[in-house]
């Protein structure tokens, strides 16, 4: 049985904060940054991943409080400089 070719990805122009977060997650899970990157891609893109539509999530929100609990007071907008 032959071995499948392995693809490589090069990701350029990443936000440095994303790289820091990737390295932090990798350290927490005991993996290299490369292995963490592979795992993130696998978990997000693997076939059969259950995706819940936004509508279903919103309909599943418990009915708590009254509309008035979320009302915003009428106040003057803050001044901004352009």
Question: Each residue's pLDDT tens digit in the chain (82 positions)?
Answer: 678 888 898 989 999 999 999 999 999 999 999 999 999 998 888 877 677 888 988 888 888 888 888 787 777 778 888 8
- Prediction pTM value: 0.52
Q: Is 33 exposed, middle or buried (0-12, 13-18, 19+ CB in 10 A)?
A: middle
Helix axes 33-45, 16-29, angle to 10 degrees: 90
Residue-level pLDDT at 68: 80
Q: How far is the C-alpha of 59 from the C-alpha of 44, rounded, in Å?
A: 24
The dihedral through the CA atoms of 51, 52, 55, 58 has a sign that is negative
Of 55, 57, 53, 28, nearest to 40 by C-alpha is: 28
Residue-level pLDDT at 1: 60
């Amino acid at each position: 049985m032959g071995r499948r070719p392995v693809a490589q990805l090069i990701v350029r122009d990443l936000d440095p904060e994303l790289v820091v977060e990737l390295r932090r997650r990798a350290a927490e899970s005991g993996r290299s940054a490369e292995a963490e990157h592979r795992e993130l891609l696998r978990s997000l893109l693997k076939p059969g991943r259950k995706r819940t539509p936004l509508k279903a999530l919103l309909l599943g929100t418990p009915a708590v409080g009254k509309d008035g609990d979320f009302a915003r007071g009428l106040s003057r907008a803050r001044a901004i400089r352009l």
